[in-house]
Amino acid sequence: MNASGRRSNDTTATPSLPPPDSPKGGACVRCKELSRSRTQIVMPVSCQPEGLLVIADAPSLEDDRTGTCLSGMSGRTLDAMLSGRGIERGREYGVATLVRCLAPAGRRPWLHEIDQCLPKLAGVLLAARPRVLLLAGGASADVFLGRRPMDKHIEHQRKAPRLVPFAAHPLLVVVLNVLNYIVPGGLYAVPTYLPSGRAWWRKLADGRRVADVVEEQVDLAARLLRSQRHALRVPV
């Protein structure tokens, strides 16, 4: 309705999104355990349009202290790996999490908690319009690519890195289809383990270290980002 009480003919209005959170606790208490365990709400850092967005599962203890996504050792490791490829945080790449509050004992977020936060992540995706999603964690990969072990996610996406959201969480399907339409060349997804001290040197079933696989996946994400900018085919 417009000011005169008549229905507007404007059909270009974007769908309404939930109001943004604010740090230092904010107002969100939808998830009782998370609202009690957090110190503050951890806010995402956006990327330039057609950039790279890292999506982790949930904030860490360090993130909860600073209010910034991936501010601990894992984030610094990713910063070093990406900056070494000419991709800087806050410019070519940004960071976000499925949920914005620290989970008790650092556990993986539960499905109902992810459901509550996904509309906010959808808003971040629409605003940032990334070209490449680096899905850093098992929950993130499952939400965007469907449930399967991480090694299967990696194997599949190396063969076909385009993000076709038929298996994505229902709350994200529309947004991902929109991004595939408006982002030149479409949207790509690269799943990876989150770099962490506990798992960094662990060996996988095929004998490779987690560190080596993360390095390969970050390199793939960087090549996909550059390939579309230069209209080159990326070998995978």
Q: Which residues pair with 72 in a beta bridge?
A: none
Which has more pLDDT, 143 or 230?
A: 143
Residue ranges per domain, the chain?
A: 32-228
Residue 10, both tokens? 């404007």
Which residues face 95 on adjacent strands? 45, 54
**Those residues with Cβ within 8 angstroms of residue 49's Cβ, 6 or more apart along the chain or in another chain:** 128, 129, 130
The predicted-structure confidence for 179-236, as pLDDT tens digits, reads as follows 999 999 999 999 999 877 667 778 888 888 999 999 999 999 999 998 866 554 444 4
For residue 21, is pLDDT > 90?
Answer: no
Q: Which residues contact 18 (CB under 8 A, 6 or more apart)?
A: 119, 120, 123
* pLDDT digit string, tens, across residues 47-93: 999 999 999 999 999 999 999 999 988 899 999 999 999 999 989 99
CATH number of 32-228: 3.40.470.10
